[in-house]
Amino acid sequence: MDQSQRTFTNRRHLLKGGAALSGAAVVAAGLSPHTAMAQEAGQSRLQQVLDRGKLVVGTGSTNPPWHYEDADGQLVGFDIEIAKLLAHGLYELTAEQLANREEWSQRLEFVVEAADARIPNLVADKVDIVCQFMTVYPLRAQQVEFTIPYYREAVTLLFKADSPYTGTADISGQGATIAILENPDAVSMVHNGVADAEVSTFDSVANSVLALDSGRVDATAIDLSTAQYLTTQSPDMYKIGIDSWQPQTYALAVKPGDQRWLNWVNTALHEYLAGAYFSYYQAAFAQHFGVELEPPPAGFPIEYR
């Protein structure tokens, strides 16, 4: 893994560890025999997935709001919702089935994997697709096929709800202290947004947020998605900065060499992002990020603007 990949990977971990999962979720190291799927010559993964009647998805379990366990030990999160949408498109699930875990879980198997297992599991045919907040890098694109983006991540500031600051503009020049997860680029990352900030690093995102809670820092530099999740969960405690910086792209990944499978996934994602099934994506986005997306306008396709 290159240095930039390690940096962005390190920024993701809000929680560590995770209990063993039951039902449709399995640990990558203990895959059942049917999960290893050697691709037949000339047959697209799309046809394999349709014939099998189940989509096998690589994902994580310790990074809210993307993939984590709820109080009942069930996988939830935005990545899980995206996987459910793919199952909806593959197997013609109704809205009622999509809302019923017992129904949609018959069509999905989750392989819980560490971030550094995403590519090996994919190329070894242990999963059909990776849905695990995977950042697109040119180097990674030599190893996997990336789909169209399904989220644009960035760094933002998380403030206490009663903070006098609103973003990078009014906190700059104040000699503020900003917390961030410790990584090789932590100081430069903060200074790209707030040039004069005093940077305080922590061994986890959770501890950087605790520093904000206790008043030891004026703000925490954090992923926009995590900030959205925290403010959605605790709107009386936190607010998000009005701006962000250092954008990066999240996409799904499939094994190279299967254009039919890649085309189908891209087509399905497009229709959830900007087409006939936008309402499903819109609902998932509001649930996990607390943001109500405007429907795509009719007329000229918005993706070409």
Asked if residue 264 and residue 227 are part of one domain, the reply reads no
Residue ranges making up the domain that contains 112: 3-152+249-304
pLDDT digit string (tens) for 185-241?
999 999 999 999 999 999 989 999 999 999 999 999 999 999 999 999 999 999 999
pLDDT value of residue 35: 45
Contacts of 22 (CB under 8 A, 6+ apart): 73
Asked if residue 275 and residue 174 are part of one domain, the reply reads no
Asked if residue 14 and residue 144 are part of one domain, the reply reads yes
CATH code for the domain in which residue 39 is found? 3.40.190.10
pLDDT value of residue 33: 40
Domain end: 248, 268, 294, which one?
Answer: 248
| Confidence at 4, pLDDT banded by 50, 70, 90 | very low
pLDDT value of residue 25: 52
Asked if residue 174 and residue 63 are part of one domain, the reply reads no
Domain end: 233, 248, 263, which one?
Answer: 248
Asked if residue 193 and residue 104 are part of one domain, the reply reads no
Asked if residue 162 and residue 33 are part of one domain, the reply reads no
| Confidence at 47, pLDDT banded by 50, 70, 90 | very high
Indicate whether 24 pLDDT > 80: no
Q: Pairing state of beta strands 62-63 and 145-160?
A: unpaired
Indicate whether 121 pLDDT > 70: yes
When the pLDDT of each residue in the chain is averaged and rounded to a whole number, the result is: 89
What type of residue is 240? I
Asked if residue 162 and residue 144 are part of one domain, the reply reads no
Contact yes or no for 175/215 (Cβ under 8 A): no
Asked if residue 203 and residue 162 are part of one domain, the reply reads yes
Total domain count, the chain: 2
Q: How far is CA 137 from CA 48, 117, 236, in A?
A: 28, 16, 37
Asked if residue 267 and residue 160 are part of one domain, the reply reads no
Asked if residue 159 and residue 146 are part of one domain, the reply reads no
Beta strands in 165-282 (DSSP E): 177-181, 198-202, 219-223, 238-254
Contacts of 199 (CB under 8 A, 6+ apart): 177, 178, 179, 180, 186, 187, 190, 191
Domain end: 248, 277, 294, which one?
Answer: 248
Least confident of 37-41, 158-162, 237-241: 37-41
Q: What is the mean pLDDT of residues 74-95?
A: 96
Indicate whether 154 pLDDT > 90: yes
Asked if residue 237 and residue 127 are part of one domain, the reply reads no
